[in-house]
Structure 1
């Protein structure tokens, strides 16, 4: 059937692709050909990679009015964005937390997998989501996947865009993106990206402000070298944020329902996050088909917080009629994490069996230091702050006065080191049968102290990776792949010590096919992953600290994705994931993870008037639940959130856009992982972009 459909598509397709002669200046050619080395650090197209990979492009983000990484990842196939607090988010895929992130294919593991604050997405050309274990690329990895942030780079021609927007809750945004060559031959160029956004929220008392800047320069060094250097800073401030979220259970087992703006916050709460990132890359053409790349990446994140936590302290649920039963706890602190990563890779091509082969070797060294402090002896009136009985919920934002904060006191330090040596090859046995094989050695060390518990752990692991691809014809490719799982964990056991790394294996088999003269790519994949000793919440220890235990979990399922153009003027992304999770709780393991998800992005231009563009997109998920108190489960039925836009290029270089999010005004609890609150109601944004 695939062959027959492709034959029809080929007969209907018209047009040809003309070869382009690139400028002799090598850095200009590199900019024109720049690709992200996704899952393997090899120069493989998505179709030729033996894993499932999705992309969210800057054009898609702009069309649907997406300005944050959280909203961008909601557009990706198979990704669940769990915003279980207003300032902390966890991303999951295939039932597991995505604990690894990269920038331009390299980066430190993301530890626990928690993203703090809302990261602006304007600096990225695209986001790549590599689903399944990816130990070859990161040296560590679990069965969820990896998020790769691909930065914008200088362009060969001068270009720029300025945009302004205004939306619901008084949300205002200004952004600018400008790139220009510095020299006549284009050998040196630079790019600057900046954005400012601030506004209120549908949640009571909450407001956000975000400033972002990114600058990058690249150019040619001698005849065979290129140098790239960049720096970015983002400062975010949230006032009226929640620490934890809402309680939904009554003591009689019924589930409470609140207004969508319900919040436990107090007026004095705040969360400031500053993220500084810098990088330097040097690439040298060693020979005609061999290239050496040296890279250094730096990242520093600081958080300054004053928080208020509300909880059903005794686990009995709220009292029906009065809504009493919650206790509040004020807390404040400051933390800083600094990370460094240096890497060296060499890759090249050679002939064997009369066919082109590719190989890559690399080494890297990463280290990070983290310090966490809290306000010691914060006073609530005449007593040290503890859990305070609260009035019936919902309450106002001035119920608990701001504490008198004491001095900052260090309570936790964490030092991490990761050394890697790795290699990969793409071997062509015939024109149709190819293999991707690799091996990675990782030596991981961490030491520090956590609330008085001293730890010092070192472990090494050698992991293989293997995949086979077979071209059934020029349009259809089949693949199988295997990867080891090895992921250090930052969750602690009942004694306050970090759990051992989770280990296991990941298998995937699939078919990728292109359609309509290679404008549309479809992927269907079957996957199975086994993770042993995976950190799973177990309750509170004698000191009142939440602790975890290692659980063996298995995930298996199927994914489908179609992405590209179905015609000259119609773009489509459609994805569907169905999975089964089993562990100590049987099929109820991680019940807050939806077992079925679907995503859609459909956009089009009128053939008779291409200046007018419109689109519809959204996301659907199946029901979720979790035990909140007294062994009663909070439930959220299946739901869909639909978004749409209309854009008009009223001038060749100017676009007016109108976006609507949550068109049907669906009311839903956004997450039940730890706690949750209601997602945003229907909202509107009007924006104007001017290109030059």
Structure 2
């Protein structure tokens, strides 16, 4: 199926859909006067969720309202109001029906005495009543709050585009890896590296800013982005698009990704899941949590997952095992210590290099099952992480948090790959190459932050400040060698002899044993000043020091010039204006820098790359906070890109550079997420992106980054619970659409035209504990390239149609 939409038509459709969704009325559903319920006693949050499903009603709750509370349950024939009264008995809460037919929890009213007016029970404002960002059991695609910055903020309080992939959306779409999550996120594209792993791109720039629980983690790999993460341990994924120098210091201006781990719950809970699908896919998860002592002051959680699968192409397979454990201790009123650790192991037979095309750039139309590699290919890795976090809240307004993180990665990679385009007449041209990689990193980080609110000049303001340091030590040894053997593209030999690691290193044309050291320290502060009731000004800055070196592990000689910057200031500023309780507008400017090791004619290091994001938009919280909506326009400019100096004489070496390069990315982001109508969850994000080289001498006026970020992208997924007697059923579906992507190599253009991938899902709630779902991706079995490279390498087919069946349980 070929979907052809010109850009104006696509933009008009997206805007019309967004406008319609934000004004949709709630779907009318009739409720029987009474029904039979069998809701067991247990945690109040679980009982309420089970009751809402059984009664076919929409219920909005804040996890802070029900945390630590239990319900006596309800059994028998009751109306919805009677059922709520029994479930909430003794909790101090009541369920109130809204005009749209849904329900919301609030503090219960005190019963009035005869002749007295009815008054509400007093409400104590405490830290626990701030918006809870935890997404699990919220049954929603809309985030209440995020922690990608320091402290807890709503999306409307952040003057940049933010997307949140909640636990519910991950479960509904079977997004089991961070790659899968990002591929279904607004404005994000993935690029398969011919040397393994995937690169992530946002707004035309590679994303290299990663956080765990709001704390930065440095990444370094010698040839390709080999970072992987299993979502079994995650509560949500938060993505801030644009430059985020205040958060990270160094990096590209594309986006920052924050992966938030699951934490222990106050109530006992056991979750099980098993999934089976095409190509021998099998996945199992166990997640157990709850209090570990009678008072509940010590809580724990353990998550284990196993995933094994073959692929739609020959030979390849993978096996992943994950184990995660975390403990929480209430040390004293307002003080909490959290400590945890995780281990992720990967054992796989990978296909890295991709497929070749014809030498003229045309599609060779090799079978999607084609695997050009050897049966001894391997990618084995192990990631071990440990963390500790101490949080102290002296009062309801302020929070002091100290975090320490340790991560170690090891990768053992060896594979056969091909280089060379196919002659369309002789079908020859491909040559065999082999590579061996042995690399690993150790990462240590400490983060100290202060976040809070204060009163001044009759207004309520906010302030955050912090210091952090991160150190990475890496060692790698890789070698690539040519074996002077041709490859038959139609009948590749997977049983070729495996050369020894020693032979590959002796005959290497590229590679080196290196030791890499990266260290970054920084301090930041940001203030949120309430100028008037609707108007807030945000201003802050970060000061960063950065140093990186790369030396030969054997000789000690420098493999490349060092990267070093001291006292670099990255400012941040924004304004927010609340039009009404639902809508607000914003504008912001944010910077980020990236050191570079190219030298000028005098031998001095070039100034760092500077990225600046200018953005303005509107954000809304609709339907009593059940829906988040946003629309933004942005412009990113990156300057100081190194260009070859063809005028001056170099003081050392044969090449020197000038800081003359400049590129621009600009466009529009639009997103809506949450319950847009009763029982209907929706996530839809549209991005329009234009790219251009500005001052790049060799490329001025040409498109920039078109391969990685198509001009138009739409990411949409929806799930709807059927009404009435069919309330146990829910149906879902979605589409990922993008326009053409291309790459030019030596004057030859390789392109993948516009395409749309459709997905569908049907789920059935068997009883209060068990549910089953059937999911199908790429429903129309679209044949396309997920990534296009060059005629000689790097072209990867996207996955064909796939069906999977999932069984879930919660006790």
Counterpart position of 1:162: 272
Q: Retained in 2: the 8 A contact 1:642–1:663?
A: yes
Counterpart position of 2:358: 249
For 1:233-272, what aligned pairs fall within 5 Å after superposition?
A: 233-239=343-349, 241-251=350-360, 254-272=362-380
* Deviation of 1:470 (Å): 0.1
Q: Which deviations, in whole Å up to 9, do the C-alpha atoms of 1:33-77 show, x marking residues without a partner?
A: 768654542432012211100011111111112211111112211
TM-score, normalising length from structure 1? 0.89
Q: Retained in 2: the 8 A contact 1:449–1:455?
A: no
Unaligned stretches of 5+ residues in structure 2:
1-15, 27-97, 109-120, 135-143, 506-511, 645-656
Counterpart position of 1:281: 389
Q: Which deviations, in whole Å up to 9, do the C-alpha atoms of 1:364-408 show, x marking residues without a partner?
A: 111010000236xx9xxxxxx534231331333436310022299
* Deviation of 1:224 (Å): 3.4
Counterpart position of 2:767: 651
The reply to whether residue 331 of structure 1 matches residue 420 of structure 2 is no
Q: Which deviations, in whole Å up to 9, do the C-alpha atoms of 1:278-304 show, x marking residues without a partner?
A: 110011223453221110011111110
Cα distance in 2 between the residues matched to 1:136 and 1:77: 22
* Deviation of 1:551 (Å): 3.9
Of 526, 547, 551, the residue aligned with 1:445 is 547
Counterpart position of 2:635: 528
Greater Cα offset, 478-487 or 405-414: 405-414
* Deviation of 1:492 (Å): 11
Cα distance in 2 between the residues matched to 1:272 and 1:669: 26
Secondary structure class of the residue paired with 2:639: strand
Unaligned stretches of 5+ residues in structure 1:
379-384, 538-546
Of 97, 102, 115, the residue aligned with 2:206 is 97
* Deviation of 1:637 (Å): 0.6
* Deviation of 1:84 (Å): 3.2
Secondary structure class of the residue paired with 1:18: strand
In structure 2, do the counterparts of structure 1 residues 669 and 357 end up closer, same or farther at CA, with 3 Å as the change threshold? same
Cα distance in 1 between the residues matched to 2:132 and 2:373: 49
Cα distance in 2 between the residues matched to 1:277 and 1:429: 43
For 1:2-41, what aligned pairs fall within 5 Å after superposition?
A: 12=100, 15-19=103-107, 37-41=146-150
Counterpart position of 1:371: 475
Q: Which deviations, in whole Å up to 9, do the C-alpha atoms of 1:564-585 show, x marking residues without a partner?
A: 1111200111111001100143
Cα distance in 2 between the residues matched to 1:677 and 1:501: 34
Counterpart position of 1:589: 704
Cα distance in 2 between the residues matched to 1:88 and 1:282: 34
Structure showing greater Rg: 2
* Deviation of 1:673 (Å): 5.1
Of 152, 173, 186, the residue aligned with 2:262 is 152
The reply to whether residue 640 of structure 1 matches residue 756 of structure 2 is yes
Of 612, 616, 623, the residue aligned with 2:733 is 616
* Deviation of 1:533 (Å): 3.8
Cα distance in 2 between the residues matched to 1:474 and 1:619: 33
In structure 2, do the counterparts of structure 1 residues 307 and 394 end up closer, same or farther at CA, with 3 Å as the change threshold? same
The reply to whether residue 660 of structure 1 matches residue 809 of structure 2 is no
Q: Retained in 1: the 8 A contact 2:561–2:598?
A: no
| Structure holding more strand per residue | 1
Counterpart position of 1:404: 500
Q: Retained in 2: the 8 A contact 1:36–1:105?
A: no
For 1:452-601, what aligned pairs fall within 5 Å after superposition?
A: 453-460=559-566, 461-488=568-595, 501-534=608-641, 551-583=661-693, 584=696, 585=699, 586-592=701-707, 593-601=709-717
Secondary structure class of the residue paired with 1:62: helix
Secondary structure class of the residue paired with 2:369: coil
Q: Retained in 2: the 8 A contact 1:202–1:681?
A: yes
The reply to whether residue 300 of structure 1 matches residue 411 of structure 2 is no
In structure 2, do the counterparts of structure 1 residues 530 and 322 end up closer, same or farther at CA, with 3 Å as the change threshold? same
In structure 2, do the counterparts of structure 1 residues 549 and 171 end up closer, same or farther at CA, with 3 Å as the change threshold? farther
Number of equivalences: 668
The reply to whether residue 48 of structure 1 matches residue 167 of structure 2 is no
TM-score, normalising length from structure 2? 0.77
Q: Retained in 1: the 8 A contact 2:133–2:152?
A: no
* Deviation of 1:548 (Å): 14
Q: Retained in 1: the 8 A contact 2:738–2:755?
A: yes
Q: Which deviations, in whole Å up to 9, do the C-alpha atoms of 1:595-648 show, x marking residues without a partner?
A: 1100101101011132211100231110011124x5211111100111111111
In structure 2, do the counterparts of structure 1 residues 85 and 57 end up closer, same or farther at CA, with 3 Å as the change threshold? farther
How much is the aligned-residue C-alpha RMSD, in angstroms?
Answer: 3.4
In structure 2, do the counterparts of structure 1 residues 617 and 64 end up closer, same or farther at CA, with 3 Å as the change threshold? same
* Deviation of 1:15 (Å): 4.7
Cα distance in 1 between the residues matched to 2:320 and 2:775: 20
